[in-house]
Structure 1
Amino acid sequence: MDSFWIDEGNDMFQPTIHTQGPWDARFQHGGPPGALLIRQLENCSPRPDTVLARISIDIFGPVPLAPLRAHAHLVRPGRSVEKLEALLEHEGRTVMRATGWRIRVPNERPTQAEEEIQLPDIVGLPDSAPEIDPTQAPGWSGGFMKAIEWHFVHGGLHNPGPAIVWQRMRYPLLASENTSPMQRLILSADSANGASGPLDIREWQFIPPELTIHSLRPPTGEWICLEASTLIQTEGVGLTNANLYDLRGLVGRSAQALLIARKGN
């Protein structure tokens, strides 16, 4: 079975062409390595009575299409709240880090809890918009773009600005196991800046060195929707925000700081 990663044992993983990003054919899109780190967090001293409520990913440099080591450890153990950290390393150098706050789910739901936030009409459903071939948009290429289904309800890669897009992975993260809900969420959420970028990718770089997600609950099903927008200041710094949905409703929100630079500078 095809997949984004191949597990080589002993915390070593080989990326496939499906991880390749649009900026440089030698390096990965941020989604697949981010999802791999979430897998490591979830497998670190697992507790079925908890959820990952906040995840922060830091990207210390381009992630190469090469064998990488991914491992995790518990930073702060606790009965109700725990903090974990996972590192992605290339030849002994850390190229990406993920931290997560894991929170215990109460046995009894609070009586003051709000009802689940339903899917707003504006985002539609995956079949309300046709699937596009992202590589037909000028400047967008790479294995990751082809490894995802893209259904734009609003905006598009060829139409810079705010966007609403449904995504679904064509392949599992690892062929030997089911992709978890939070792995799917991270893999999709990292596309928010590209989906809503207001600049032409052929002329500009708008690259996120980080991704932070606050999650209300793990998503259900295979589809993730990004309702995304990007702001750019004249100083050359950008900010992408996105509401994240599954077919039931809101599951969380994401934010990314952006490096903005004209290509070749």
Structure 2
Amino acid sequence: MAYFIRQGANTFLATPETGGAWNPEEQHIAPMIGLLTHLTELDHKQRDVDSALVPGRMSVEILGVLGYEPFDVEVEVVRPGRTIELVEAVCIQNGRPAVRMRTWFMAQTDTSAIAGTAFSSIPGPTAEKSFPGLGTNWSGGFVESIKGYRKPGELGRGFAWWQTDTELIESEPVSNLAAFMGLMDMTNGIVVRKDPSEVIYPNLDLTAHLFRMPEGKWLGADVSVSFGANGIGETHSVIHDENGPVGTCSQILTVRPRT
């Protein structure tokens, strides 16, 4: 099974594997982020842009809910350049933009002599036995397609590792980055500050900054969740692959107690 089926050059259909955690009748945004990453990379290759340019920042705006009707994706170069380039990918469903992602491609140079990070490491994904469902109250096709584990700490703090064996697009190879980005939106919900049966806190966006390209199938996150007193929250995560930290992910939340 795959999350998406390609129906044309720019047209796709979501499968039940994309079912959302807040509402299984809507798509989870995580696979869509992976798809937009893949199509942005394809556009890059088709334009024969210098392969030394790699994504450094991916910023996603969630403009509305996604159903299971067919949708199109349009990719546009916003700011061309030889050392930096800004590319926008937009998912359009039922005639309206539903998700918009902007990616900064950046030139690589050899800074191996000074490479390093102050981010702390977390225990690797082989440290404990993994289990389906991640032990949370979440449901939906996407969550059910994930395997991994989480290690809660104090309230709203903890780390987790997860991966999936589900294809992003049926019978279509994708890069490791696209597969990785297709998992990242689970950072909001993987460690909870409040049970989602009592409070809803969907994210309106996702911004990832990566200082190196991730490797392998596992995505790890050291997560901090904050709720303000005004109905606004944030999930901030240090993102890891099996070799250590690769960058960060932040999501702004709308926090609403269930009535």
Same fold (TM > 0.5) = yes
Aligned to 2:5: 6
Distance 2:178 2:25 in 1: 23
Aligned to 1:86: 89
Aligned to 1:182: 177
Q: 1:99 aligns with which of 97, 102, 116?
A: 102
Distance 2:244 2:255 in 1: 32
Matched, 1:155 2:152: yes
1:128-174 Cα shifts (integer Å, max 9, x gaps): 12223328643x1100011111222x119xx9621211111121201
Q: CA RMSD in A?
A: 2.0
Aligned to 2:164: 169
Distance 2:219 2:196 in 1: 24
Matched, 1:248 2:243: yes
For residue 17 of structure 1, report the CA deviation from its aligned partner: 1.2
For residue 112 of structure 1, report the CA deviation from its aligned partner: 5.4
Matched, 1:208 2:180: no
Report matched runs for 1:130-141 at 5 Å.
130-134=129-133, 137-138=136-137, 140-141=138-139
Is contact 1:212-1:254 (8 Å) kept? yes
SS at match of 2:183: helix
Is contact 1:70-1:86 (8 Å) kept? yes
SS at match of 1:235: coil
For residue 203 of structure 1, report the CA deviation from its aligned partner: 1.5
Aligned to 2:21: 22
Distance 1:163 1:211 in 2: 19
Residues 111, 127 of structure 1: CA spacing in aligned structure 2 closer, same or farther, 3 A cutoff?
closer
For residue 75 of structure 1, report the CA deviation from its aligned partner: 0.8
1:172-216 Cα shifts (integer Å, max 9, x gaps): 201222332221232222111101220111121110010000011
Distance 1:149 1:82 in 2: 35
Q: Which runs of 5+ in 2 are unaligned?
A: none
Matched, 1:55 2:53: no
Is contact 2:26-2:66 (8 Å) kept? yes
Q: TM-score, normalised by structure 2?
A: 0.92
1:73-130 Cα shifts (integer Å, max 9, x gaps): 1111001000000000112100000001001112xx137522477972xx21212122
Is contact 1:135-1:141 (8 Å) kept? no
Distance 1:22 1:163 in 2: 20
SS at match of 1:197: coil
> Percentage identity across aligned positions?
26
Aligned to 1:44: 43
Distance 1:68 1:155 in 2: 37
Letter in 2 for 1:52: P
Residues 221, 263 of structure 1: CA spacing in aligned structure 2 closer, same or farther, 3 A cutoff?
same
For residue 45 of structure 1, report the CA deviation from its aligned partner: 3.0
1:223-245 Cα shifts (integer Å, max 9, x gaps): 11011110111111101110111
Q: TM-score, normalised by structure 1?
A: 0.90
Is contact 2:158-2:223 (8 Å) kept? yes
Letter in 2 for 1:39: H
Q: 1:69 aligns with which of 51, 68, 72?
A: 72
For residue 252 of structure 1, report the CA deviation from its aligned partner: 0.9
Distance 2:187 2:166 in 1: 20
